[in-house]
Amino acid sequence: MSPRKVLFAISFLLAAAVITAQEKATPAYYSFSRELRKQYILQDDFTKFNNYWLLGIEENSWSESIEDGKLVFQSLTNKSKEDLLPAIIDQKRDFEIETSIRFVEGMMDKGYGLQWGKSINPVRQFDFLLTGGGHYTIDKYDGIFSDYVPFTLSDDVNRYAFNKLTVRKVTDKYYFFLNEKLVHSMPFEPFFGNLLGFQVGDNSTIMIDHIEIAYLDEAKEEKSKVLIMDYKFISNSDKVAIGKAVTLTVNVTNVGNKDAQNLSIIYKVPANIEVVDFKKVPSLKAGEEQLLTLQFFANKNYTDSIIPVSFEITGADITNVNDLDLSIEVDKPVKKEIDKSLAQNFSEFRGGNDPLKGLNVAQAMKSVQVGEYYGLIIGIDQYAGEWPQLQNAVNDAKAVALTLSSKYTFHYLKTLYNKDATRDNILKEFEWLMQNVKSNDNVFIYYSGHGEYLQNMDKGFWVPSDAASKTISKYISNEDIRSFLSGINSKHTLLVTDACFSGDIFRGKTMTIPYENSTKYYQKVYSLNSRKALTSGGVEPVLDKGKEGHSVFAYYFLQALTKNSEKYLDAGQVFESLKIPVVNNSYQTPLYNPIRNSGDEGGQFIFMLK
């Protein structure tokens, strides 16, 4: 090759290298951020329960679960659903939000994807959405929808695989990438609030692989972050009533690294809401927390059914006042449920520090708070009439009762064996539980005896001791059991049945939170209601004989309870420990699922050591 050609080739390669370097140096190039992500605000790959996503199920509305390292989110109605967490982002810095999301099934023309910068009070948001039909859109809602990019059909949308959505902010500009390809850029617009998460379209299912939020620069200055970390409404009446005072106590904390010197917090309430007292917070040093109180009542001219309360905070660089719905309903008890956005903030900013000052989130997060434990143990060997006698059912039931009473916390434990386990007596115990169990209590029911399944009715039954013939008049159907369990006002109910055809009680959807031996895990699974059953088999016969005077199922169930040394043991862990040995040592397959149409939200019954 001639010297001139060599020189030309070198010049061409140098020019290409310069162009490549320039491309990588611009934020419009996807790989721009590859080496810049150092400080993460949120990372979740859904392999563990790391954040307060709305895991559970609300019948005829939505379901959400973590399955095989993916977040599975489903709308069960003709409305889109969303799940949001607070992400406290300093908007003056450069940052990037990225998620990978896939359409599984459902309405092909309904939007699914990412929401960010969202406020609740009032509702405002930004969206980066896709459709199952291959469209994408970028928009905002501030009372009306405005499209930055209208729904556009594009080959860049994967219809049958995951799609990577990237929202990048550098200096004063937004860059939007779809599967690493730049699809839009525009001037940056400030957030309405701090909420961020996912939207699933009407009657559709999506799957999320991961989400990450990271800064792309170094922190240049200190910031004051004044956040509402907790709140609690208190009323001397059973319900919020006209003319009756309500006190709202709010914990405000400066979680930033700069003092908030000239802090101003003002309240906003509707007309005809009279404010009796308001305790202000004039300043907050970095790391300081204070309680703010607002006492008010609705006068006789107030006609709305809801009393909205809001705050405006100035004098702080970052706040979360728009993320929260501080409202109460007239003629309803004051709300005491935990705001999961605040629980997320608590977990992120408080860690293992001292708990907050006795408000809703602080009390729940301090430890696993539980009510009383009720147990009903039923075992039947001796049957009259046509039903053959069993050998191990009563021995199994007595061993379970002894283990629970000696090792675990149980305040009430009722047993019914053989002739006492009649249809009437069993139903009377169900009725007693319905009348006496309170909303934070826990109920454990164990049945060991004959089960029956009538194929022409597609129904399963328990067989009480006084069922002298094989007719259904003396049976207890799984439908009846399900109705009673729905009527028991417990926090958690666990039904364990060691009987033939016991799996008929399911026909529901399994919702699970991946196990993690941490306080946060038990706080989550206890906070969600549960109505679950652990059965020795499906719609199939099961063995009465087994090991050491117990059925195979009862033997390994007892092993799980007796060998446990942890303070908390949830029913899901018990199932995981027994399912393989039962399958390996019998011809039956244990099942653990929610009891359909009974109010299960994805929580867990927790056995607590004494």
pLDDT digits (tens, 9 = 90+) for 340-356: 666 666 556 544 333 33
**What confidence tens digit (pLDDT) does each residue in 248-279 have?**
988 888 988 999 988 999 999 999 999 999 98
As beta bridge partners, residue 128 has: 114, 138
- pLDDT of the residue at 59: 62
195 or 387: which carries more pLDDT confidence? 195
Segment 54-70 shows an average pLDDT of: 77
CATH number for region 373-608: 3.40.50.1460
CB-based contact 58:601 (threshold 8 Å): yes
Task: Domain 225-366: give its CATH architecture.
Answer: Sandwich (2.60)
379 or 221: which carries more pLDDT confidence? 379
- Topology of domain 27-215, CATH: Jelly Rolls (2.60.120)
**What confidence tens digit (pLDDT) does each residue in 95-132 have?**
999 999 999 999 999 999 999 999 988 899 999 999 99
The pTM (predicted TM-score) of the whole model is 0.63
CB-based contact 492:603 (threshold 8 Å): yes
pLDDT tier, 247 (very low <50, low <70, confident <90, very high otherwise): very high
DSSP 34: T
- pLDDT of the residue at 508: 37
Segment 356-381 shows an average pLDDT of: 67
CB-based contact 126:139 (threshold 8 Å): yes
Burial of 2 (0-12, 13-18, 19+ CB in 10 A): exposed
CA angle 537, 540, 542 (to 5 degrees): 60
Every domain of the chain and the residues it spans: 27-215, 225-366, 373-608
- pLDDT of the residue at 336: 63
As beta bridge partners, residue 247 has: 234, 295
Burial of 138 (0-12, 13-18, 19+ CB in 10 A): buried
CB-based contact 440:370 (threshold 8 Å): yes
Tell me: pLDDT of 541 over 50.
Answer: no
Rounded CA separation 580/577 (Å): 7
Burial of 40 (0-12, 13-18, 19+ CB in 10 A): exposed
- pLDDT of the residue at 504: 45
Tell me: pLDDT of 524 over 90.
Answer: no
Alpha helices by DSSP H, listed for 421-539, are: 423-436, 478-487, 519-527
